[in-house]
Amino acid sequence: MQHIRAHVLVCAGTGCKSAGSKEVELAFQREIKAQGLADEVMVVETGCHGFCEYGPLVIVYPEGTFYSRVTAEDVPEIVESHLLKGRMVERLLYHEPMTHEMIPKYSDINFYKKQHRLVLAHCGTINPEQIEEYIAVGGYEGLGKALTLMTPEEVVEEVKKSGLRGRGGGGFPTGLKWSFAKQSVNDKKYVICNADEGDPGAFMDRSVLEGDPHKILEGMAICGYAIGADEGYIYVRAEYPLAIKRLRVAIEQAEAMGFLGENIFSSGFNFQIHIKEGAGAFVCGEETALMASIEGKRGMPRPRPPFPAVSGLWGKPTNINNVETFANVPQIIVNGADWYCQFGTEKSKGTKVFALTGKINNTGLAEVPMGITMREIIYDIGGGINNGKKFKAVQIGGPSGGCLPEELLDLPIDYDSLTAVGAMMGSGGLVVMDEDTCMVDVAKFFLNFTQSESCGKCTPCREGTKRMLEILTRITEGQGREGDIELLENMAKNIKETALCGLGQTAPNPVLSTLKYFRNEYEAHIKEKRCPAGVCEKMAVYTITDKCKGCGLCAKTCPVKAISGTLKQQHVIDQAICIKCGACMSVCPFKAITKG
Amino acid sequence: MKTLEDLKALREKLKGDIKVRQKQGTKIIIGMGTCCIAAGAREVMSAVLDELAVRKLNDVQVQQTGCIGMCEKEVLLDVIRPDEPRITYGNVKPADVKRIIADHVVNGRIIEDLVVGKIEQEG
Amino acid sequence: MDMVTLTINGQTVKAKKTSTVLEAARAAGIYIPTLCYHPELSHEGACRLCVVEASGARTLVASCVYPVAEGMIVETNTPKVREARKLVVELLLANHPKDCLSCQKSMDCELQTIAAELGVRKIRFAGGEMKAHTIDAGNPSLVRDQEKCILCGRCIRACSEIQGMDVYSFAGRGFHTIVSTAFEQGLEKVACTYCGQCASVCPTAAIVEKDDTDKAWAALADKTKHVVVQTAPSVRVALGEELGIPVGEIVTGKMVAALRRLGFDKVFDTNFSADLTIMEEGHEFIDRLTNGGVLPMITSCSPGWVNMIELKYPELLPHLSTAKSPQQMFGAVAKTYYAERAGIDAKDIVSVSIMPCTAKKAEAVRPEMNSSGYQDVDIVLTTRELGRMIREFGLDFASLPEEDFDSPLGKSTGASVIFGTTGGVMEAALRTVADVVTGQNLQQIEYKAVRGMETVREATLKIGDSEVKVAVVHTLKAAKAMMERVKKGETEYKFIEVMACPGGCIGGGGQPVPVDADVRRARRDALFTCDEACSLRKSHENPEIIELYSTWLGKPLGEKAHHLLHTKYNQQKRN
């Protein structure tokens, strides 16, 4: 037997895996053995660290040295230099994008320094496939405490007092939701974990499931105890195979150790959890559609009331929360509501995990206290905009959310402030857009998403979003008409009022928020037939400037022979023939062709 | 799982296994520059790890560092107990390891004859 | 009963605690337009036409699914509500063919009516994409035109909740959502019984009966053809609805007059052959009962039901009475017995039937239905189609005189007319069976124990000295449940009547729309009135039937009867 002096944590989240982390892990195993360190250095596969932009990530403890973008070829050097001789491999250390400063330690990186990781606390620091590691960091103590020291009423009260609100979209108070399901009298009740993460760009739920699956099981079991349910379902999209695998392993281990099953903690409480794989329909994130899907029916929402707390899965009282919500529960029980309330704002307690994507330097997952400003997230954690471009907007809340302009960057983010400005928390997807983004095009993108994901049941969503999309499409193609803006606004207002479910009711939000903050862009498209960002291809006008040396390459390349001119003289493009393909611009050796 | 106490006991048992990833407990730092290795640092390291294993001191962190320039006193080994000064031992031989761990790491008694330096505050 | 008080449009309304805002409003005489709502189906809240403002709700709410609450304040007619409803209709119209003027459902279309009511004058989305589908017309009974579908889902619910057949479901997403059969196959390739309940709940012309009126017009115009028509029992109590006459009125005489004016050479009655069916089926039952035949015997006059058992329970086919349905017995007799008596070559006879049923169209073209040597029934028209023909011909139906059926296939008894309602075939059979078994002319005529509207009813009856347990079932969903019991041998029934449609033929898929429980009850009551008005109320007392047997057919179940009036059934294998 040997003392393990160092742990090499290799991220095995989906992002890092696709970047080659499995090969890195195998290389470490091989090299460590070759150097005779197998007895004293352990390689640990972990869940996602959130800093996916820089994956594959490797962290070496006890120093906490953070290596980014590690390839299998880098591994012999790390083993020889760091693990054998105690010298960090500087070239693989992380450099801050704004300051270019080298940061060796995990905890000193700005991306992490500004975060407050409660939900993600163990993601990337424990092996998700070993229940022992979860227990070592305090796992299942929340369940133990609830079951042995608290009544179900006390559990519900504690969650109520914590101010926890649903992290999946609407932000409904979790404790209140639990109390509804608790009040329903029935000998059978269900707990459902909504892991049908579908917002474009959002992946926090996947990361938690992959990195800390036991936390979800524990949260669900506590909920089951609180509301009087003995069975739970995790509805997880089939596109998350790794999450499903780790959940299965976790359930098996939890059952083997008696955290799930019968008479847990000798309390008489029984709880079992099933996994239900969803086929990835966006609308199945809506709770009534999700339940229909579990029941084997087509995933279509039904009107509420009755609410699931009264009549849910198979007509039984059911409580549904999403992954991140459940992940907050164990620590609320262990540390108490008062402890939890220190994080966040008056009406939005705790932290929120955001998925940073788009034109930002540090894409990845960031968990921050509620009330932090968008500016802090984008610049301090996200490392600012790519390639030194100017910030234009941030889309928050997925397809149901809205686009916020620069003026609102200092807005403290919580549920209510976001709703007030026409966006919503949603599941926490943040898509950052720079000056090269056309906001009409963005609205079109999101509406296209909701239209193609609409379940087709109610008229406003099925037909209305289609017509709105057609109007947006024609605007981006230079066919916008006088009155289109007003028509869009009128339809958006009515669809919000009349659609059956949350998907339809919020579908117009991206259009409304871009109309609110970027109306001039719509007007430019319609009145001047011009896309200010130069994105809308069909409206682009390619012109050859006097930088032209008359080489003739563009004329040769043009597929429709729209370019004419004599050699060594400035060429011209016949706009009537041009099909805006942009081929000329990309071949011009003198950058003489402009698009506007 | 029968009781909360069972769980807590289990946690205590398992905690050490991941101590390496947390900033608690006693640290042993061994200089591992090329010169140090030539002076026998690997052997000292092995002895440390063996002794920690034998004594099941799985919450003691073992770190390495590069050459710090005191090559004539190698092998160099530092012990930092929580809230205590950093003690540097010089000319450490594998045979000294048992004593360092038994007296200093476990019982907090500094072995004066091996000490080459003392730093009050860990940076 | 727990009641709540709410305010709708300023009016104080009391409603059951469990009712929806729509139900409360309608009970108070406040109209709210609907499309996906159907009183007999589950409520989906899908079309969003019935939205109203309700206190406490964040947005407008669909009144068809929104429960009432004590003190709730509802506004059903604010500018906001009307604007929202208008947009819903405008959106539906934007994706709907604009051929209303030439549409089969014109003037009978809920979408058209609502668009007119709401005053939708402009469709702002002209030029947008429209759904494009081919028409499903590969079966004899129903035509599905997806382009006219507004996705209200009523057909899906009717087929599933009433009939238990689940032929339809939603498929696809967003704008491309459709109501689909399995793999979008034609109805003839899936387990469809052609009962037509989908067509009868469809608010537009997305599912309609296959229109055979052109064939009928052509036959009537052909001077070389002798065109005879038979009218099913339930048509005479429903046809009026197509022609502006109140629900539940008996229009037998006017119907006969209208058919004559349309040019039919002979107007006969399916009631006649219903009596004939009782003769055969009644004797078949006695035979099975006394000679150890397969029991329970199950009726076979509902073709939707026959399709169902052939599709789903082929192992139970020996239970089906081999007696043909009245339509087919009529067809066989018309082209043989009648042809001989009238001295007309059967090849020159065109036999038309007026039926409450879309499945009858498919029954007529079954290959074995040619015992006359020709297709026994040539053209099957539904009640709705006859209504259209009468309108097209320009007849003022209400002022037509009452006329009588022609002979020799026109006389009937009260037993035959109740074939049109659930329990009627059973009751008619019992009237004859009891007399035959006892050898007496019993005083008992009415068997009220088998009457009613519950989907499954059972009764134990004394016939002669023995007690006979019987059951009456209507709707295919109830029939399925009954067949499961029969299959497991859980029943002691000797005789089961099954009708595919709710209420029997009065609720058939070819009857006038809209139809609901009240309408069906009115039609049924009218049938019982017809029965009571008859001087003869037992099939075996029908003089034309007696004459048919004595002069031509011989005995019930005899050789000629076996050849002409009985059939066999085969398993139907579809995907």
Residue C573 forms part of a structural domain = no
How far is C187 from A409, CA to CA, in rounded Å?
58
Looking at residues C252-272, what average pLDDT do you find?
98
> Sign of the CA dihedral A476, A480, A482, A484?
negative
**Is the same domain home to C382 and C446?**
yes
- For strand C379-382 and strand C349-355, is the pairing parallel, antiparallel, or unpaired? parallel
Residue B12 forms part of a structural domain = no
For residue B120, the model assigns a pLDDT of: 64
- Residue at a domain's end among A413, A434, A455: A434
Which residues share a beta bridge with C170? C179
Q: What is the pLDDT of residues C237-255, one digit of tens each?
A: 999 999 999 999 999 999 9
Q: Is B82 on the interface with A (CB under 8 A)?
A: no
How far is A576 from A217, CA to CA, in rounded Å?
63
Task: Please count the other Cβ atoms lying within 10 Å of the Cβ belonging to residue C427.
Answer: 24
The terminus-to-terminus CA distance of chain C in angstroms comes to 48
- Considering C242, C280, C310, C363, which one is annotated as catalytic? C363
* Nearest-by-Cβ selection for A258 from B1, B30, B48: B1
How far is C210 from C192, CA to CA, in rounded Å?
15
Greatest mean pLDDT range, B80-84, C161-165, C436-440: C161-165
Residue C83 forms part of a structural domain = no
Domain count, chain A: 5
Residue C384 forms part of a structural domain = yes
* Nearest-by-Cβ selection for B66 from A1, A87, A137: A87
How far is A363 from A123, CA to CA, in rounded Å?
17
Q: Are the beta carbons of A282 and C41 closer than 8 angstroms?
A: no
Out of A215-229, B56-70, C161-175, which region has the weakest mean confidence (pLDDT)? Answer: B56-70
Domain count, chain B: 1
Strand arrangement, sheet containing C495-499: C297-298, C495-499, C466-474, C456-463
User: What six digits make up the tokens of A91?
Assistant: 């070239």
**Prediction pTM value:** 0.88
**Is the same domain home to C196 and C301?**
no
For residue B111, the model assigns a pLDDT of: 87
How far is A143 from A191, CA to CA, in rounded Å?
15
The answer on pLDDT for B18 being more than 80 is: no
Confidence bin at B123 (pLDDT 50/70/90)? very low
The answer on pLDDT for B113 being more than 90 is: no
Q: Which residues have CB under 8 Å from A52's CB, separation 6+?
A: A13, A15, A16, A363, A364, A365
Domain extent at residue A417: 351-434
Residue A126 forms part of a structural domain = no
Confidence bin at C1 (pLDDT 50/70/90)? low
User: What six digits make up the tokens of A69?
Assistant: 């973008």
Contact at CB, C46 and A457, closer than 8 angstroms: yes
Q: Which residues have CB under 8 Å from C226's CB, separation 6+?
A: C265, C266, C342, C344, C348, C349, C350
- Residues across chain C: 575
User: Which amino acid is located at C267 in the chain?
Assistant: V
Q: Is B9 on the interface with A (CB under 8 A)?
A: no
Main-chain dihedrals φ then ψ at residue C190, nearest 5 degrees: -115, 175
Q: Looking at the complex, report in whole angstroms how far the Cα of residue A111 sits from the nearest Cα belonging to chain C.
A: 39
DSSP string, A142-202: HHHHHHHH--HHHHHHHHHHHT-B-TTSS--BHHHHHHHHHHS--S--EEEEEE---STT-
| b/e B23-53 (16+ beta carbons within 10 angstroms → b) | eebbbbbbbbbebbbebbbbbbbbbbbbbbb
**Is the same domain home to C133 and C251?**
no
> Sign of the CA dihedral C230, C234, C237, C243?
negative
**Is the same domain home to C242 and C167?**
no
List residues in chain A touching B: CB distance below 8 A: 1-7, 9, 39-40, 61-64, 83-87, 125-126, 132-133, 135-138, 140-141, 144-145, 148-149, 257-259, 264-266
Task: Enumerate the H helices of A404-483 as residue ranges.
Answer: 415-420, 439-453, 459, 465-476
| CA distances in angstroms from B80 to A4, B88, B120, B122, listed in the order given | 18, 9, 10, 8
Cis previous bond, A200, omega within 30: no
Long-range contacts of A587-590 (CB under 8 A, 24+ apart): A587/A553, A587/A554, A587/A557, A588/A548, A588/A553, A588/A554, A589/A551, A589/A553, A590/A547, A590/A548, A590/A549, A590/A551
Domain with C270 in it: what CATH number? 3.40.50.1780
- For strand A402-405 and strand A429-434, is the pairing parallel, antiparallel, or unpaired? unpaired
Task: Please count the other Cβ atoms lying within 10 Å of the Cβ belonging to residue A516.
Answer: 15
**Is the same domain home to A443 and A518?**
yes
Domain extent at residue C19: 3-77
Domain extent at residue B36: 24-119
Contacts of A452 in chain C (CB under 8 A): 173-174
How far is C341 from C338, CA to CA, in rounded Å?
5
Query: ipTM value of the model?
Result: 0.92
Q: Which residues have CB under 8 Å from C245's CB, separation 6+?
A: C251, C397, C398
Task: Please count the other Cβ atoms lying within 10 Å of the Cβ belonging to residue A575.
Answer: 11
User: What six digits make up the tokens of A342?
Assistant: 């220190």
Domain with A406 in it: what CATH number? 3.10.20.600
How far is C280 from C553, CA to CA, in rounded Å?
11
Residue C82 forms part of a structural domain = no
Q: Are the beta carbons of B26 and B61 closer than 8 angstroms?
A: yes
How far is A139 from C87, CA to CA, in rounded Å?
54
Long-range contacts of B100-106 (CB under 8 A, 24+ apart): B101/B48, B101/B51, B101/B52, B101/B55, B101/B57, B104/B79, B105/B26, B105/B28, B105/B57, B105/B60, B105/B79, B105/B81, B106/B55, B106/B57
Domain with C68 in it: what CATH number? 3.10.20.740
- Residue at a domain's end among C209, C239, C268: C209
Q: Across C78-211, where does the E strand assignment appear?
A: 142-144, 169-171, 178-180, 207-209
**Is the same domain home to C155 and C270?**
no
Which residues share a beta bridge with C143? C208
The answer on pLDDT for C574 being more than 70 is: yes
DSSP string, A249-307: HHHHHHHHTTSSEEEETTTTEEEEEEEEEE---GGGGSHHHHHHHHTTS------SSSP
Q: Which residue has the tokens 């499954």?
A: C456
Contacts of A474 in chain C (CB under 8 A): none
Q: Which residue has the tokens 């006017």?
A: C254
- Residue at a domain's end among A384, A406, A434: A434
The answer on pLDDT for B121 being more than 60 is: no
Task: Please count the other Cβ atoms lying within 10 Å of the Cβ belonging to residue C173.
Answer: 18
Specify the 3-state DSSP secondary structure of A21: helix
Between helices A213-227 and A141-149, what is the axis angle to 10°? 10
Domain count, chain C: 3
- Residue at a domain's end among C35, C50, C77: C77
Q: Which residues have CB under 8 Å from C57's CB, separation 6+?
A: C66
**Is the same domain home to A203 and A313?**
yes
Domain with C195 in it: what CATH number? 3.30.70.20
Residue B10 forms part of a structural domain = no
Residue C505 annotated in active site: yes
Residue B1 forms part of a structural domain = no
The terminus-to-terminus CA distance of chain A in angstroms comes to 70
Report the neighbours of A using a cutoff of 3 or more CB pairs below 8 angstroms: B, C
For residue A165, the model assigns a pLDDT of: 95
Residue C360 forms part of a structural domain = yes
- Residue at a domain's end among A434, A459, A479: A434
Q: Looking at the complex, report in whole angstroms how far the Cα of residue B109 sits from the nearest Cα belonging to chain A.
A: 22
Residue C285 forms part of a structural domain = yes
How far is C484 from A563, CA to CA, in rounded Å?
77
**Is the same domain home to A137 and A280?**
yes
Residue B48 forms part of a structural domain = yes
The answer on pLDDT for C158 being more than 80 is: yes
How far is C235 from C238, CA to CA, in rounded Å?
5
Q: Which A residues in the span 281-340 are in contact with C, Cβ-Cβ below 8 Å?
A: 281, 298, 300, 302-303, 305
Residue C18 forms part of a structural domain = yes
Contacts of A458 in chain C (CB under 8 A): 45-48
**Is the same domain home to A180 and A300?**
yes
The answer on pLDDT for C159 being more than 60 is: yes
Residue C321 annotated in active site: yes
pLDDT in 10s for each residue of chain A, 596 residues? 577 888 999 999 888 888 899 999 999 999 999 988 888 899 999 988 888 888 899 999 888 889 999 999 999 999 988 888 888 898 899 888 777 888 888 778 888 888 888 999 888 888 999 999 999 999 999 999 999 999 999 999 999 999 999 998 778 999 999 999 999 999 999 999 999 988 878 889 999 999 999 999 999 999 999 999 999 999 999 989 999 999 999 999 999 999 999 999 999 999 999 999 988 788 888 999 999 999 999 999 998 889 999 999 999 999 999 999 999 999 999 999 999 999 999 999 999 999 999 999 888 899 999 999 999 999 999 889 988 899 999 999 888 889 999 999 999 999 999 989 988 888 888 999 999 999 999 999 999 999 999 999 999 999 999 999 999 999 999 999 999 999 999 999 999 999 999 899 999 999 999 999 999 999 999 999 999 998 898 888 889 999 999 999 999 999 999 999 999 999 999 988 998 888 999 999 999 998 87
- Residue at a domain's end among C209, C235, C264: C209
Q: No. of H helices and E strands in chain B?
A: 4, 5
User: What six digits make up the tokens of B43?
Assistant: 């052997």
Contact at CB, B1 and A259, closer than 8 angstroms: yes
- Considering C23, C209, C284, C427, which one is annotated as catalytic? C284
**Is the same domain home to A191 and A321?**
yes
Q: Is A459 on the interface with C (CB under 8 A)?
A: yes
Residue C552 forms part of a structural domain = yes
**Is the same domain home to A489 and A502?**
yes
Q: Are the beta carbons of B28 and B79 closer than 8 angstroms?
A: yes
**Is the same domain home to C489 and C374?**
yes
Q: Looking at the complex, report in whole angstroms how far the Cα of residue A101 sits from the nearest Cα belonging to chain C.
A: 49
**Is the same domain home to A516 and A565?**
no
* Nearest-by-Cβ selection for C128 from A303, A459, A470: A470
User: What six digits make up the tokens of A84?
Assistant: 């054998």
Contacts of B61 in chain A (CB under 8 A): 5, 62
**Is the same domain home to A408 and A545?**
no
Burial label for A285, CB within 10 Å (0-12, 13-18, 19+), is buried
User: What six digits make up the tokens of C131?
Assistant: 């759904």
**Is the same domain home to A277 and A242?**
yes
CB pairs < 8 Å spanning A and C: 105
Contact at CB, C177 and A454, closer than 8 angstroms: yes
**Is the same domain home to A331 and A268?**
yes
Report the neighbours of B using a cutoff of 3 or more CB pairs below 8 angstroms: A
Specify the 3-state DSSP secondary structure of A65: strand
How far is A395 from A442, CA to CA, in rounded Å?
9
**Is the same domain home to A312 and A456?**
no
Q: What is the pLDDT of residues B21-40, one digit of tens each?
A: 776 778 888 888 778 788 88
For residue C575, the model assigns a pLDDT of: 67
**Is the same domain home to A151 and A295?**
yes
Residue C301 annotated in active site: yes
For residue A186, the model assigns a pLDDT of: 94
Domain with B34 in it: what CATH number? 3.40.30.10
Residue A245 forms part of a structural domain = yes
Residue A114 forms part of a structural domain = no
